[in-house]
């Protein structure tokens, strides 16, 4: 479970979202509920305030050089993966 926040200093990771699969180090599939996460590379983006404390705080950055994680969103669960280099 993840949550995008507005304060970068309270975030665990800075995230850049790309539309280029080759520059991403995580191919992420967004699931529809918190219990749908089955493996790394699947995110549930928290909207329910009751789940906020359980979510990992992320901050979206505008430049990939500023990011800890570079994300490419995929359309199928089977495509989701963490790319190790």
pTM: 0.91
- Strand partners for 13: 58
Question: Alpha-carbon distance 45 to 30, whole Å?
Answer: 7
9-68 pLDDT, tens digit each: 999 999 999 999 999 999 999 999 999 999 999 999 998 888 899 999 999 999 999 999
CA-based R_g, the chain, Å:
13
In the chain, where are the structural domains located? Answer: 2-82
pLDDT surpassing 90 at residue 2: yes
The answer to whether the Cα torsion of 56, 80, 25, 82 is positive or negative is positive
């Amino acid at each position: 479970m993840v949550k995008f926040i507005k304060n970068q200093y309270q975030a665990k990771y800075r995230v850049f979202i790309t539309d280029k699969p080759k520059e991403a180090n995580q191919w992420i599939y967004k699931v529809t509920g918190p219990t749908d996460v089955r493996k790394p590379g699947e995110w549930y983006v928290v909207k329910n305030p009751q789940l906020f404390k359980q979510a990992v705080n992320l901050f979206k950055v505008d430049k990939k050089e500023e990011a800890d994680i570079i994300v490419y969103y995929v359309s199928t669960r089977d495509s989701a993966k963490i790319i190790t280099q």
